[in-house]
Amino acid sequence: MNLVELDLALRKLRLSGMADVLELRLRQAQTEHLVPLDLVSALVNDELVRRQDRLFARRHKQAGFRDADRSLDTFDFDFNKKPPPQNSWVIDPVGEAVLVCRSSEKRTR
């Protein structure tokens, strides 16, 4: 089996991540004298990384974020540091959300 046939077979098996880096990994194996197990390990790792990246991209697209190009790296967590509202939701020990009303009015006599 030559390189072209191997590439086609990998794509038929839906291993396009391996097929894309096959030639590069073969050259690397020849120059670094890799053991066959190391070569196969690198190819499988490349396929896993590609699948994880595609899964993340697909989920990111399906989420339909309003500003898809933004990330938490640029988020300003110090913005709008107001005290919590007087009426707020808390989680009780049972795990149910409960509305807690707190009176902040000062009593005057």
pLDDT per residue over 76-106, tens digit each?
777 777 766 665 555 666 655 555 555 555 5
Task: Identify the weakest region by mean pLDDT among 66-70, 73-77, 82-86.
Answer: 82-86
pLDDT in tens, 25-57: 999 999 999 999 999 999 999 999 999 999 999
Q: Read off the DSSP letter of residue 95.
A: S
Measured between alpha carbons, how far is 23 from 42 in angstroms, rounded to an integer? 12
Q: Where are the domains of the chain?
A: 3-63
Judged against a pLDDT cut of 60, whether residue 9 lies above it is answered with yes
Q: What is the pLDDT, as a whole number, of residue 80?
A: 74
| Global pTM value | 0.61
Measured between alpha carbons, how far is 3 from 6 in angstroms, rounded to an integer? 5
Q: List the one residue out of 51, 44, 53 whose CA is nearest residue 22.
A: 44
